[in-house]
Amino acid sequence: QVQLVQSGGGLVQAGGSLRLSCAVSGRLWKIANTGWYRQAPGKQRELIARIFDSGTTNYADSVKGRFTISRDNAQNTVYLQMDSLRPDDTGVYYCEVRAFRPGTVGLDDYWGQGTQVTVSS
């Protein structure tokens, strides 16, 4: 059974930093990419950062230059370093792993439990 366990998050003042972690366990045949999503109060969940198997990263414009996604393959962990945090970064953050089904090009999505980030002004 694949599990994604998130840690980090919490309350921070504007301008501060936080790091989120997402530890992946279980059998995955091949990971295509891993992403971090944010769901702000009253809004839909949005993709804010993604790292591909190649190491290529993509960011939403709202976090570009402030957030950094990275991974530690040895620890099966993905990180989201968040710097220069702003009140509009407040929300529940989710990690997601997209992996190929064995022997196919089909993809399955796995989600972390979510973690609250609150940025005070």
- How deeply is 43 buried, as exposed, middle or buried, from its count of CB atoms within 10 A (0-12, 13-18, 19+)? exposed
User: Side chain identity at 31, as an amino acid letter?
Assistant: I
pLDDT of residue 1: 87
Residue whose entry in the numeric block shows the structure tokens 């990419």: 33
Coil vs helix vs strand at 56: coil
pLDDT at 61 over 90: yes
Q: Is the pLDDT of residue 33 over 90?
A: yes
Q: How confident is the model at residue 19 (pLDDT cuts 50, 70, 90)?
A: very high
φ and ψ of 87, to 5 deg: -55, -30
For residue 42, what are the contacts with CB-CB under 8 A and spacing of at least 6? none
